Amino acid sequence: MVSEKSNKRPSKDEAMNAVKTLLSWAGDNPEREGLKDTPKRVVEAYEEWFSGYNEDPHEILAKTFEEVENYDEMVLLKNMRVESHCEHHIAPILGVAHIAYIPDKKVVGISKIARLLDAFSKRLQTQETMTAQIADAIQSALKPKGVAVVIDAKHQCMTTRGVHKTETSTVTSQVRGLFRENEKTRKEFLTLISLKS
């Protein structure tokens, strides 16, 4: 999915030539044996790393279940691996996400929440934006009584370059509904995500 402001997505050959240019700019020879297939491998890696642009988050959450036997307690998926890239340096963001919601007549298959996480994480963005997008998508699709999202991740643009603070992680959170309004509900969520699995 290409931004509305751009005319068209470059071809695979154009992308590989761009990688060759960067290899030359870095000071190496893109034609030497060890680098000859690197442009192809980089483009294939980008297809995987940025596959979220091909996903529609609203479509992922479109199939819901209303036969929930009056279940109205928290549904929590915790310690889900996050693999993303920052939009400023295209450096990896690696960590975990904890996503919870309190149903109001509708639930969604738990794998859909994991797919939603990937749809947003496999794009270039900031962690703050990704956290809000996930919460907004769940709120919009399920209309739950509450949504909570916490992401705890290390940014390689900070750990491997610049200030080199290797042990620093960034924690972002978004809460909606009961998680914002009810301190007891919020504390329960925070307690559950801090428990060792």
- Give the per-residue pLDDT at 72: 84
pLDDT at 99 (0 to 100): 98
The pLDDT tens digits of the residues spanning 128-143 come to: 999 999 999 999 999 9
Catalytic residues: 86-89, 127, 155, 157
Judged against a pLDDT cut of 80, whether residue 3 lies above it is answered with no
Q: Which of 25-39, 54-68, 149-163 has the lowest mean pLDDT?
A: 54-68
Q: What pLDDT, on the 0 to 100 scale, is given for residue 195? A: 87
Residue-level pLDDT at 5: 55
Lowest mean pLDDT among 69-73, 83-87, 123-127: 69-73
On average, the pLDDT of the chain sits at 93
Report CA torsion sign: 68, 71, 74, 76: negative
Cα 111 to Cα 151: distance, rounded to the nearest angstrom: 18
Q: Which pair of structure tokens corresponds to residue 21?
A: 């240019």
**Measured between alpha carbons, how far is 51 from 146 in angstroms, rounded to an integer?**
28
Q: Burial, 35: exposed, middle or buried (Cβ in 10 Å; 0-12, 13-18, 19+)? A: middle
Provide mean pLDDT across the span 177-196. Answer: 95
pLDDT in tens, 37-48: 999 999 999 999
> What pLDDT does residue 7 have?
64
What three-state secondary structure class fits 105? coil
At 176, the pLDDT band (50, 70, 90 cuts) reads very high
pLDDT of residue 129: 97
Q: What domains can you pick out in the chain, each with its CATH number?
A: 12-49 (no CATH), 60-194 (3.30.1130.10)
The percent of residues above 70 in pLDDT, for the chain, comes to 96
- Per DSSP, 51 falls in state G
What is the distance between the alpha carbons of residues 196 and 155, in angstroms, rounded to a whole number?
Answer: 23
Rounded Cα distance between 108 and 30, Å, is: 47
How much is the pLDDT for 189?
A: 97
pLDDT digits (tens, 9 = 90+) for 99-123: 999 999 889 999 999 999 999 999 9
